[in-house]
């Protein structure tokens, strides 16, 4: 009779452990999805600000028209990848867009009248704030991805995760090598 109680106790413990692992996986998966949603919100904010910035600076930046056209092109690319739910394509387009936003900031330095314009200055502040929030959201998301992927890969959780078909998330990585290069600042001009 005691053997039956021991076996029953072990079965209950295994079931409770499986429930704990499952609930932990669900919690981390939902946190990772929430972190992705935070990135999505900030990217949407950036996408909403870009047309306002482009229209504000278009008249001044005649020579940089190609830059402004590329910003519009990559914004459209990023938005279509976002709508399609393609994480990798969205990361690539956002990486290109982030590089172009830096180029716009540098190009604006050549136009003192434009920098003095209150609307443009406000938009640039908003864009800068949004870029900072995007970076923070990316770091948070990547931390959640790391935790979730680790949880589904370690033993014995990997057995439960495999049975329940939990899949790894991809990190939000920079694709463009230009974003990894040092910024060149020339104060002689």
Q: Distance between CA atoms of 157 and 26, rounded to whole angstroms?
A: 12
Query: Is the pLDDT score of 53 beyond 80?
Result: no
Q: Distance between CA atoms of 186 and 164, rounded to whole angstroms?
A: 56
In percent, how much of the chain has pLDDT > 70?
77
Q: Any idea which residue has 């956002």 for tokens?
A: 94
At 27-48, the pLDDT tens digits run: 999 999 999 888 888 888 887 8
Which of 77-86, 95-104, 127-136, 175-184 has the highest average model confidence (pLDDT)? 127-136
Dihedral class, residue 111 (left if φ above 0, else alpha if ψ from -120 to 50, else beta)? beta
Q: What's the predicted TM-score (pTM) here?
A: 0.62
Q: Distance between CA atoms of 112 and 118, rounded to whole angstroms?
A: 12
**Mean pLDDT score, 127-150:** 88
Measured CA distances, 94 to 76, 97, 145, 146, 183 (Å): 10, 5, 19, 21, 19
């Amino acid at each position: 009779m005691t053997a039956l109680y021991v076996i029953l106790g072990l079965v209950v413990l295994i079931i409770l452990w499986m429930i704990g692992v499952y609930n932990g996986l669900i919690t981390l998966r939902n946190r990772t999805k929430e972190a992705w949603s935070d990135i999505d919100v900030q990217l949407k904010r950036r996408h909403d600000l870009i047309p306002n910035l482009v229209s504000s600076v278009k008249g001044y930046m005649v020579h940089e028209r190609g830059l402004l056209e590329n910003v519009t092109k990559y914004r459209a690319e990023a938005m279509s990848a976002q709508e399609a739910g393609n994480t990798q394509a969205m990361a690539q387009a956002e990486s290109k867009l982030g590089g172009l936003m830096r180029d716009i900031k540098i190009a604006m330095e050549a136009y003192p009248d434009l920098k003095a314009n209150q609307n443009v200055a406000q938009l640039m502040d908003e864009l800068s704030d949004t870029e900072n929030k995007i970076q923070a959201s990316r770091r948070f998301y990547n931390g959640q991805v790391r935790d979730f992927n680790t949880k589904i890969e370690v033993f014995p959780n990997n057995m439960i995760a495999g049975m329940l078909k939990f899949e790894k998330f991809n990190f939000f990585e920079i694709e463009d090598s230009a974003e990894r290069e040092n910024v060149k600042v020339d104060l002689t001009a």
